[in-house]
Structure 1
Amino acid sequence: MKKTIAGVDIPDSPLARAATDQIQATESSLMFHHALRAFLFGALTGLRDRLRFDAELLYVSALFHNVGLSVQHQRSACRYEVDSANEARDFMLQYGAAAGAIGEVWAAIALHSTPGIPEHLSPLVALVSAGVQMDIRGARYDEFTAQQRDEIVQAWPREAGFKKKIIEAYARGMEHRPETTFGTVNADVLDRWDPNYRRLNFCGLVLGSEWAN
């Protein structure tokens, strides 16, 4: 793996190397490359916005942010983001990481797909979300130079049909637990993927509750 991409140094600590090995061995190349690109876009956002952040923690967070979509979690009752955060927590505990670092990584992963919240929390939480959103839906796309985007994609390619494939990956990771998508962007995924999916509606839940008025 290259040590520097688009001006960003790739973390090479024992924790970072172990995270790389674990995620590369367990995730598809589509998801692994997405995670690596998310790290770079997040790091570049932090450097551009002059935020102080821990690159190693950003790297681990980015690598683990989607592991909750794997087959082993598809029967989980939790949101996939929570399963991903729990996996990162368990991994970091094995390496003796500090409780504060583990808690921040957990929050960054758990909140990475929740619009309007991460940018008001710590730089790590904000940057994990920013990196993921840039790679998935092109958030703040024009704030990155063409050279930065090209170098990142050259190092870790967006394979042909990435847009549809990433939606499918999300859908397959959540189709057995549709109730966990309530109130999140994940409901959009299942709404497009599954013709039998029916969204829960907050107003319907309020009006249909057991309360008399």
Structure 2
Amino acid sequence: MPTDSPFPQLPVSGITIPTTALTTAALSYSREHTSASTVNHCLRSAAFALIFASKIPPYAAADAEAIVLSCILHDLGWAIGDSKALLSSDKRFEVDGADLAREFTRTHSDYDEVRLQEVWDAIALHTTPSIALHKQPVVAATAMGILADFTGPHHPSGLLTVAEYKEVVGAFPRLDFREELPRVMCGLCRDKPATTYDNFVGEFGAELLEGTEGESYRADRDKHNVRKMLLGGLEATKQYE
């Protein structure tokens, strides 16, 4: 690894975050558009993803650069300040991140459409492990690494050790990530609520938004309840059958 690498050595974990023109540029891009605690979350996720890839035989040949790229860029949908102009008004944050990452990668690399789609899938599906874990190794390892930053050694795979966890968090400190997460989720519920009703983001809004704002959000979310929509739709179609 070059001595000027932005990625530290992780001897306990035994993995090396690849220092390439693409991963270095991606890190700069993430730092430009997201908060310091989000960047460190993405770097921890990348390290955890590589640890899993090193321990799961089917993932051994996975493209480490693509895994790291996907992890570093996966929360571009949390862009802050003026960078919010990059975001859509009608897409889930995962899709915003996937779209931005695909365009960034297309501009900064020679990835073909298949590899670009893997990066897009890895980011768009990272909050849906029940799907991501059944796709390509890059997609699955990315989802596992991101989840590990929330579960630590209690990851359901049982493959992450306490020593590995401590090393990664020591290299990329949490800063105020625990406090930032609910702020970001509630911000999404305020800024584009329609993208949050059918997924976990809405749980933050329903629980944490207060006063009339919270009451209004919960009422709107209830109107878009998926169970009610499906059963109500079936009932409404009876007249045509």
> What TM-score results when the alignment is normalised by the length of structure 1?
0.90
Residue 102 in structure 1 maps to residue 116 in structure 2: yes
Aligned partners of 1:186 and 1:17: how far apart in 2?
30
Q: Which amino acid aligns with 1:173?
A: L
Matched, 1:62 2:81: no
* Runs (5+) with no aligned partner, structure 1: none
Residue 146 of structure 2 corresponds to residue 163 of structure 1: no
Distance verdict in 2 for CA 1:128–1:205, change over 3 Å: same
Q: Which has the higher contact order (CA 8 A, sep 6+)?
A: 1
Residue 149 (structure 2) pairs with residue 135 (structure 1): yes
Match of 1:36 in 2: 43
Does the CA contact (< 8 Å) of 2:49 and 2:142 recur in 1? yes
Residue 116 in 1 paired to residue 130 in 2?
Answer: yes
Match of 1:204 in 2: 228
Give the C-alpha shift of residue 166 in structure 1. Answer: 1.6
- The gaps in structure 2 that reach 5 residues or longer are 1-5
Q: Which letter does structure 2 place at the counterpart of 1:201? A: N
Range that drifts further, 91-100 or 30-39: 91-100
CA distance in 2, matches of 1:7, 1:104: 25
CA contact (8 A) 1:42 1:128 kept: yes
Residue 3 of structure 2 corresponds to which residue in structure 1? none
| 1:37-87 Cα shifts (integer Å, max 9, x gaps) | 001111111111121211110111011111112223565201111110000
How much does 1:146 deviate? 1.8
Cα drift, residue 173 of structure 1: 3.5
Structure whose residues are more often helix by fraction: 2
For these two proteins, the number of residue pairs brought into alignment is: 212
The offset of 1:10, in angstroms, is 1.4
Q: Contact 2:189/2:202 (CA < 8 Å) preserved in 1?
A: no
Q: Secondary structure at the match of 1:120?
A: coil
Q: Is the 8 A contact 1:81 1:110 kept in 2?
A: yes
Task: Determine whether 1:9 maps to 2:16.
Answer: yes
User: Following TM superposition, where does structure 1 have runs of at least 4 consecutive aligned residues deviating by more than 6 angstroms?
Assistant: none
Find the aligned partners of 2:166 and 2:62 in 1 and give their Cα distance. 24
What is the distance in 2 between the residues matched to 1:26 and 1:102? Answer: 21
**Residue 84 (str. 1) matches residue 108 (str. 2):** no
Q: Is the 8 A contact 2:30 2:39 kept in 1?
A: yes
Q: Distance in 2 between matches of 1:2 and 1:205?
A: 47
* 1:134-153 paired onto structure 2 within 5 Å: 134-138=148-152, 139-140=155-156, 142-153=158-169
Conserved? CA contact 1:8–1:40, under 8 Å: yes
Following superposition, the deviation at residue 92 of structure 1 comes to 0.9
Cα deviation, residue 207, structure 1? 4.0
Is the CA contact (8 Å cut-off) linking 1:38 and 1:131 kept in structure 2?
A: yes
Larger-gyration structure (1/2): 2
